[in-house]
Structure 1
Amino acid sequence: MRILHTSDWHVGKVLKGRSRHEEHIRVLGQVVEVARAEQPDLVIVAGDLYDTAAPSPDATRVVTRALSALRQTGARVVAIGGNHDNGQALDALRPWADAAGIELRGSVRDKPDDLIIKGETAAGERWQLAALPFLSQRFAVRAVEMYELTAAEATQTYADHVARLIGRLAEGFAEPGVVNLLTAHLTVVGASSGGGEREAHTVMGYAVPATVFPSNAHYVALGHLHRSQRVIGPCPVRYSGSPLAVDFGEEENVCSVAIVDVSVDKAARTRDVPVTSARSLRTVRGSLDQLATVNLPDAWLRVYVRETPRVGLREDVQELLPNALEVRIDPDMVPDKAGERMAQRAGRSPRQLFGDYLDSRGNAEEGVRELFDQLYDEVSTQQ
């Protein structure tokens, strides 16, 4: 069977005040075109459909239309909630999703069997997918336990809970003649962060070892980290990455979706199909004269200016580069005030430094310097 694996759409993302609505329409349109060309049996969207838990009507329209278009290619479509999504709100859309033939799982419910999705390809190949939405540490580890546990113990407890849940979901993987699949939205220890993920949910407290995945899974489709990558584990494990760079920390990422060919008796074969519809994100550095030669009309820019700070410098840069969303002074141009202060203090006694401080504050009250001298002598003598 063939799978199209994608994740981390982050529809509704605003970059430095600039909407990326039109970019998302183009990007997801290209993902649909890839699905039409590749004809997958199953499309997996591994979380973070939205960038915020309260998406706008426009963002909701983009996501629902993209999911519907993917379903219209003839593929089964499964989407799970990520840490940016509102899991309960996604679950509220399930009547629409069921009517559209889309499997939507926003959050972990009381019935684990609800997270098991089964199907059969047109060629008669049976498959089953365990779909695990993002599970927060606060939900997995009861609040009272978090207060009593050390950070390391809480991290291990979270990983243990996830492992037990995945083990419960994978109980049916022993059935012969079925392609066993798993999708989840989480951080795996040792994987490379893509640069744009919410830091609070990528720290080690939310990370699990790859050993939580069952060895009899034929493919594990992960979301959450934005860089496409394979993860070493007991079975084929992969992040598809985001189909567009979410922020400037991801400008070196190659945006893509993963196409996976897998069967019961053959190892999963994966290839990335680039997604190029979004504007690239680029960082440029230089003086105003050097920036005037930059020719990147189709990229969003982060600019480090190598000029002395002055009023109006940002406006001058944005006049040269209208797509500059972020303008900063190059750190090399910022005086090292801490170093200057250290140099000014070098070789001077505490009495002299305190006297300079009083002078800078305009404090000429009699006796203050003498009192400082007395206190300093007492402390020095005790030491």
Structure 2
Amino acid sequence: MRVLHTADFHAGRITRGYDRTSELRDALTEIAGLARTERADAVLVAGDLFDSVNPSAAAEGIVFEFFLRLKELGIPSVVIAGNHDSAHRLGSLKGLLGWVGVQMVADLSADLSALTRTLETRSGERLIVGAIPYISERRLLRAADLLGQDVGEWRQKYRDGVGQLMREVGKTFDPTAVNMMMLHTTLDGAKPSGQRSVVLDLNKTYTITGMQFPAGTQYAALGHVHKPQQLGEGVLAAYPGSLLQLDFGEGGEQKQVNLVEVFAGRPAQITPIPLASGLELRTLKVTHADLERRLEEAKSFQGLLKVVVSAPPGTALPGLKETVLRILPNVLAVELDAASLPGSVAPLATREGLSRLELFERYYQTTRGELPAAVRAAFIEAQQAVTDEAREGGAA
């Protein structure tokens, strides 16, 4: 059996004001083409189809076009919701998506058997997928109720809670079929893009360990971490990573999808397939003294740039952003090296039109540097929790 594993589309992503929709359309077209040429029996999408809970019509369009292409190819798929997705929104589309061969698992329900999806593939083998969508602590409390557990105890034991869900799902595995788990989560040992692994300590209570995958799991298809990587602790697990270099912390990463070849009862094998679509992101660090020379040298670069300028404290830099953009119009951000700043400095761009996330990201970059993926995800989850509570309060 040949299974194509992908994740983290983030359709609708705007990087420093630059819309990535056309790039993502190209990447999804490329993946559909790979599903055909690699003779995939199924496609697994491990969450974060969209970059926000309220995606644009254009973002929805390119994602649904992708699933229509898979239907035309006769290739079924299993999809889970990620932390950026609206579980309610995806859940409401489950019936329509099912018509084009998409088995969607958007949220937990009273029927835990709904977390297991079985595909009869054209290879002649059955594929059983334990599909667990992203579970925030708030959603896990619902799972505690469903399993008759002490909610207060589960609040402190996120890892154990997800582990118990996986054990329940594992009871449906069949040794005569191919058995896989799919989750949108952080696995111990995963390294985020452009950051040291210690960064994930900020999200430590939301991690699981590879030893928790149920017996019989032949492959764990993961989403959430954008850096492609394989992890092995009892079970072969992998992140294919995001489809595009979504921000400058991911600059230089080769994006990919994973082709998983596996037979019932045998170990899985992964072949990473690099993607050609998407612009490269690069950070150009320069001194004020050699600014124009370095910018001229970078004119041949066809991707998107962030320019970080260092200068002696107190140096006047009038018209810095205008100078950079005049030479390199593909620059999305111009920043001053914090070490060269005499205390706090006003941002180079105005706050007008920026979302709360963009404002927070700008603040973090000014005070600490590139925003870690774990911190970004935590901010989005907190913001969504406030929105949900406000909505529930209004409904009451």
Give the TM-score, by structure 2 length: 0.78
**Alignment CA distance shift 1:146-1:314 (3 Å):** farther
Q: Which moved more, 1:228-237 or 1:271-280?
A: 228-237
Identity of aligned residues (%): 32
For the residue of structure 1 that corresponds to 2:267, the secondary structure is strand
Counterpart of 1:35 in structure 2 is 35
Output one character per residue of 1:200-241: Cα deviation in whole Å (capped at 9) or x when no partner. Answer: 997112111222211311111000001111112221111111
Q: Is the 8 A contact 1:39 1:75 kept in 2?
A: no
Q: Which residue of 1 aligns with 2:106?
A: 106
Partner residue, 1:177: 176
Q: How does 1:56-135 map to 2 (within 5 A)?
A: 56-135=56-135
Q: What is the distance in 2 between the residues matched to 1:242 and 1:324? A: 22
Match of 2:216 in 1: 216
In the alignment, is residue 311 of structure 1 matched against residue 300 of structure 2?
Answer: no
- Counterparts of 2:83 and 2:27, CA distance in 1: 21
1:137–1:205 CA contact under 8 A, matched in 2: no
Structure 1 consecutive aligned stretches of length 4 or more whose deviation exceeds 6 Å: 145-149, 199-202
Is 1:293 aligned to residue 292 of structure 2?
Answer: no
For the residues of structure 2 that align with 1:114 and 1:231, how far apart are their CA atoms? Answer: 27
Counterpart Cα distance in 2 of 1:6 and 1:223: 8
Change in 2 beyond 3 A, CA 1:176/1:333: closer
User: Residues 162 and 270 from structure 1, CA distance in 2 versus in 1: closer, same or farther, beyond 3 angstroms?
Assistant: same
Q: Post-superposition shift, 1:333? A: 3.6
**Considering only aligned residues, what root-mean-square deviation do their CA atoms show, in Å?**
2.5
After superposition, give the CA deviation of every residue in 1:134-168 in whole Å (9 maximum; x if it has no partner). Answer: 0111221479x99977xxx845x111110111110
C-alpha deviation, 1:76, in angstroms: 1.3
Q: Which moved more, 1:60-69 or 1:288-297?
A: 288-297
CA distance in 2 between counterparts of 1:311 and 1:112 reads 61
C-alpha contact 1:154 1:205 (8 A) present in aligned 2: no
Q: Residue 86 of structure 1: CA displacement?
A: 0.2
Change (3 A) 1:87 1:148: closer
Tell me the distance in 2 between the aligned counterparts of 1:61 and 1:23: 14
Which is greater in Rg?
1
CA distance in 2 between counterparts of 1:195 and 1:164 reads 32
Question: What is the CA deviation profile of residues 12-64 of structure 1, one whole-angstrom value per residue up to 9, with x for unaligned ones?
Answer: 00001111111111111111111111111010000000000011111111111
In the alignment, is the contact (CA less than 8 A) between 1:39 and 1:73 conserved in 2? no
Q: Distance in 1 between matches of 2:107 and 2:126?
A: 25
Q: CA deviation at 1:331?
A: 3.9
- Quick one: distance in 1 between partners of 2:68 and 2:5? 16
Question: Are the aligned partners of 2:170 and 2:215 in contact in 1 as well (CA < 8 Å)?
Answer: no
Question: Following the alignment from structure 1 to structure 2, what is the Cα–Cα distance between the partners of residues 228 and 80?
Answer: 19
The runs of 5 or more residues in structure 1 that have no matched partner are 338-383
Q: Secondary structure at the match of 1:226?
A: coil
Of 288-297 and 80-89, the range deviating more from structure 2: 288-297
In the TM superposition, residue 170 of structure 1 has moved relative to its aligned partner by 0.9
Where does 1:130-209 land on structure 2 (aligned, <5 Å)? Answer: 130-141=130-141, 154-155=155-156, 157-173=157-173, 175-195=174-194, 203-209=203-209
Matched residues in 2 for 1:109 and 1:11: separation? 26
Q: Answer whether contact 1:4 1:42 (CA < 8 A) is retained.
A: yes
> Which residue type is aligned with residue 66 of structure 1?
F
Q: Which amino acid aligns with 1:37?
A: T
**What is the DSSP-based 3-state SS (H/G/I as helix, E as strand, rest coil) of the residue aligned with 1:294?**
helix
Residue 210 of structure 1 aligns with an amino acid whose one-letter code is G
Distance 2:181 2:70 in 1: 20
Which range is displaced more, 30-39 or 4-13? Answer: 30-39
Deviation at 1:102, TM superposition (A): 1.3
Instruction: Work out whether residues 177 and 265 of structure 2, in 8 Å CA contact, stay in contact via their aligned partners in 1.
Output: no
Q: SS of 1:181's equivalent?
A: strand
Distance 1:147 1:45, change over 3 A: closer
Q: Distance in 1 between the 2:191 and 2:300 partners?
A: 28
C-alpha change, 1:201 and 1:87, in structure 2 (3 Å) is farther
Give, in whole Å, the separation in 2 of the partners of 1:251 and 1:200: 19
Counterpart AA for 2:297: T
Q: Does 2:264 align with 1:264?
A: yes
Residues 94-131 of structure 1: CA deviation (Å, up to 9, x unaligned): 12112112111111111111121112222321221111
Structure 1 residue 301, shift from structure 2 partner: 0.3
Q: 1:104 to 1:49 in 2, by over 3 A?
A: same
- Measured in 2, the distance between the counterparts of 1:75 and 1:188 equals 28
What is the DSSP-based 3-state SS (H/G/I as helix, E as strand, rest coil) of the residue aligned with 1:316?
A: helix
SS state of the match for residue 122, structure 1? coil
Q: How many residues align?
A: 330
Secondary structure at the aligned position of 2:244 is classed as coil
Q: Structure 2 CA distance, aligned partners of 1:279 and 1:26?
A: 11
Q: Are the structure 2 counterparts of residues 298 and 201 from structure 1 closer, same or farther at C-alpha, using a change threshold of 3 Å? A: farther
